[in-house]
Amino acid sequence: MGSPTPILYFLLLILLVSLHHTPSFADKKKSYVVYLGSHSHDSSEMSSVDFNSVTNSHYEFLGSFLGSSDTAKDSIFYSYTRHINGFAANLKEEIAAEIAKHPKVLSVFENNGRKLHTTRSWGFMGLEDNYGVISSNSIWNKARFGDGVIIANLDTGVWPESKSFSDEGFGPIPSKWRGICGKGSDHGFHCNRKLIGARYFNKGYASRVTTPLNSTFETPRDNEGHGSHTLSTAGGNMVQGVNVFGQGNGTAKGGSPRARVASYKVCWPPVNGDECFDADILAAFDMAIHDGVDVLSLSLGGSASNLFNDSVAIGSFHAAKKGIVVVCSAGNSGPNEATAENLAPWYITVGASTMDREFPSYVVLGNNLRFKGESLSATRLKHKSYPIIKATDAKLASATIQDAVLCQNGTLDPNKVKGKIVLCLRGINARVDKGEQALLAGAVGMVLANDITTGNEILADPHVLPASHINFSDGVDVFKYVNSTKSPVAYITYPTTKLHTKPAPFMAAFSSKGPNTIVPEILKPDITAPGVSIIAAYTEAEGPTDQEFDKRRIQYNSISGTSMSCPHISGIVGLLKALYPSWSPAAIKSAIMTTATTLDNEAETILNATFIHTTPFSYGSGHVQPNKAMDPGLVYDTPTNDYVNFLCALGYNETQMSVFLKAPHQCHKKFNIINLNYPSITVPNLNRSVTVTRTLKNVGAPATYIVHVQNPNGITVSVKPNVLEFKHVGEEKRFEVKLKVKKGKATKSYVFGKLVWSDGKHYVKSPIVVKAI
């Protein structure tokens, strides 16, 4: 063998150089958030020079670990300078661990991702004519339709051209507003006297993607639809003649239609399934508090974590300190228990339930059996029967039965499907994607059947072909018919709109449930609201299915998820803010929770999607009743100091709390978490007996309230005193609730009861959740 050629020497040299410069695992950097608590300054009185000074202090602090402020400047991509004190930076793991030990640091956590809480992109899992939950205009009129209130969301941005955000009829922008219209490179984007502000935050997202972001990411515009939908549900204008492909026609309106709105874009195309990153969320919170918002709506979430490692928990605490009400979605991981997200006590966490409106589309079989499904398909079949085939009988030879039954991508054989209706099972891939797969294979229609876990929860989607989504039991019958018939045929009727349906509401199968996995003593979700087939504003940059194949464009769309129920509550909060501007976030939350109902429109306990009675782990305090929330009589108010004592009881020390508050704090040594003045009572580990304390504040006329108790199974509940007399507004009364295990009667599982204070006019209700040990 001859000597190596010069080319070979050159290749070997390149290899050696590349090996020499390949970074070890320890050298690799990740993006982190370093949380330093609060600022002592008032951001409204600070100049840009002052904010720069705060940023320089962050450079100096990180520089003490990295060797120089210049190195720190290259590492930090966010400096939180207004209300939240901290920064986000690209760091080596060992440096992050070293920083976490510093006494000035409350926490250091990875810049993790979160997801939007809409179900259309999940296989499993409002702006309707009367807002679904408001039965008359009484609260709207008294609250001036939310006039003067500023509602904002952290989401995918906003479509400013939507009529829901027109400023026709609006006066000057409120003087308290300090925000901007951050257009970025999108020169066509505009704000107005309705949509008064918009910003975008993408540096945390940029730190997690593999390629640099181009100019299309420099915009607050909603190219996905989710942000416009949620923002218009909370505070969109009244817009007449709204419908989705002719269905649900009526006047669209947000909960607070005269409120001003603002958008903080923090969510972007998914990276490994995550869309909204912690560093961006904290930056948006910091700026929104500074800008002067009154209500913040977050239809996003992630895996439950330590409260000081949770951007939503941190940001919302700083917001609550400034009187801002934060509303969060509970998540779409139901019906399994212990799946709820957004678990801190200082914001409102919302589950999703149905309303009394459906879009029925019937599946008619060759044996004349009819099954009611739902759909928002824009196309209709000719009035005749078509062959119907199970997806598993129509699969390609290369496809597995498990994939084919779900009508997953590339599983259907066009030779077997063409001209037929395909029967698909719900699960894994998006419902609308199943229809697309059927259409691509030549099907004329699709019947989508639930599995046993999704039960009776059927959703109206804007399918690309005639389709109907049927429940589990009806699906079983359709499968039986196809299996037992030599030449099965079927027909799918064109959808219609039906109101005043029963039973309603019932819990959506996708709605995440308690118990709380971080703080079991706090019941989550707090409340439920409409979150199924909600019609609201949409982007015109995407089709109604949000799938690449969908070239249709509509101005309003129907979507489901706790993403949709969350802004219903945000809109109601806006009305209460307008009506009672001096009320604290805790008082507003209490008014919403204690006036909720646990009954449906058949006067039965709210059911789940399989039509079994649910518990507070599904609906919290119940389904929201806005008109009653306007006049709650009494509220459970919670001062900020109580939340701090709550954190002390979780194990945070006085030094950490002093850093957190930027003021000395002495922890209340005897404070028990179960005594946080919360509108619900949860005792997860009851050993024999325990006494819980609560304080009620009168927000109505002088009155005498008498307590009524529904005992949980195996538990006796006694209240002392059992009568509370209030003589003036603002008066507070303390009471004790003793819970005692009945000998030999208690179970080791959670049981549920109720405590109600009533003066004959008001009914101030609290769920009781107990588990004996």
Q: How many CA atoms lie within 13 A of 257 on its CB side?
A: 26
Q: Annotated catalytic residue: which of 468, 563, 584, 680?
A: 563
pLDDT digits (tens, 9 = 90+) for 61-105: 999 999 999 999 999 999 999 999 999 999 999 999 999 999 999
- 515: pLDDT strictly greater than 90: yes
Residue 563 annotated among the catalytic residues of the structure: yes
Longest alpha-carbon distance in the chain? 106
Cα-only R_g, the chain:
28
- Quote the CA–CA distance of 501 and 725 in Å, as a whole number: 42
Question: What mean pLDDT, rounded, does the chain reach?
Answer: 92
Percent of the chain with pLDDT over 70: 94
- 380: pLDDT strictly greater than 90: yes
Of 233-247, 541-555, 615-629, least confident by mean pLDDT is: 541-555
Q: Looking up tokens 């982007």, which residue turns up? A: 539
Residue 27 — pLDDT band, cuts 50, 70, 90? Answer: low
Judge contact between 346 and 326, C-beta under 8 A.
yes
- 250: pLDDT strictly greater than 50: yes
Percent of the chain with pLDDT over 90: 84
Cis peptide, bond prior to residue 721, ω within 30 of zero: yes
Q: What is the pLDDT of residue 669?
A: 81
Q: Annotated catalytic residue: which of 39, 117, 226, 318?
A: 226
The answer to whether the Cα torsion of 70, 72, 73, 74 is positive or negative is: positive
Say what the pTM is.
0.93
Q: What is the pLDDT of residue 10?
A: 37
pLDDT digits (tens, 9 = 90+) for 684-715: 999 999 999 999 999 999 999 999 999 999 99
pLDDT digits (tens, 9 = 90+) for 109-148: 999 999 999 875 333 223 333 334 444 556 778 888 999 9
Max avg pLDDT among 89-93, 665-669, 670-674: 89-93
Judge contact between 453 and 612, C-beta under 8 A.
no
- 231: pLDDT strictly greater than 90: yes
Residues with Cβ within 8 Å of 651's Cβ and at least 6 positions away in sequence, in order, are: none
Q: Annotated catalytic residue: which of 69, 75, 83, 155?
A: 155
Residue 226 annotated among the catalytic residues of the structure: yes
Beta strands in 655-748 (DSSP E): 681-686, 689-698, 703-710, 715-720, 723-726, 732-741
Write out the two tokens for 55. 């940023």
Q: What is the pLDDT of residue 457?
A: 87
Sheet holding 84-92, edge to edge: 76-80, 84-92, 29-38, 107-110
Residue 546 annotated among the catalytic residues of the structure: no
Judge contact between 607 and 613, C-beta under 8 A.
yes
Q: What is the pLDDT of residue 709?
A: 98
**Is residue 724 classed as helix, strand or coil in its secondary structure?**
strand
Mean pLDDT for 11-33 is: 54
Write out the two tokens for 231. 């923002």
- Quote the CA–CA distance of 323 and 318 in Å, as a whole number: 9
Q: What is the pLDDT of residue 20?
A: 41
- Quote the CA–CA distance of 538 and 245 in Å, as a whole number: 14
Mean pLDDT for 49-58 is: 94
Q: How many CA atoms lie within 13 A of 261 on its CB side?
A: 35
Alpha carbon distances (Å) from 339 to 336, 518, 565: 6, 11, 17
Q: What is the pLDDT of residue 580?
A: 97
Q: What is the pLDDT of residue 670?
A: 86
Judge contact between 512 and 562, C-beta under 8 A.
yes
- 18: pLDDT strictly greater than 50: no
- Quote the CA–CA distance of 127 and 210 in Å, as a whole number: 38
Q: What is the pLDDT of residue 132?
A: 43
- Quote the CA–CA distance of 762 and 742 in Å, as a whole number: 31
Cis peptide, bond prior to residue 360, ω within 30 of zero: no
Residue 5 — pLDDT band, cuts 50, 70, 90? Answer: low
Of 78-92, 242-256, 395-409, 650-664, least confident by mean pLDDT is: 650-664
Write out the two tokens for 677. 């003045």
Q: What is the pLDDT of residue 24?
A: 43
Q: Are strands 489-492 and 386-390 parallel, antiparallel or unpaired?
A: antiparallel
Helical H segments across 236-374, by residue range: 278-291, 311-321
**Is residue 759 classed as helix, strand or coil in its secondary structure?**
coil
Judge contact between 679 and 593, C-beta under 8 A.
yes
**Is residue 230 classed as helix, strand or coil in its secondary structure?**
helix
The answer to whether the Cα torsion of 561, 562, 568, 571 is positive or negative is: negative
Q: Are strands 467-470 and 295-298 parallel, antiparallel or unpaired?
A: unpaired
Residue 455 — pLDDT band, cuts 50, 70, 90? Answer: confident
8 forms bridges with which residues in the sheet? Answer: none
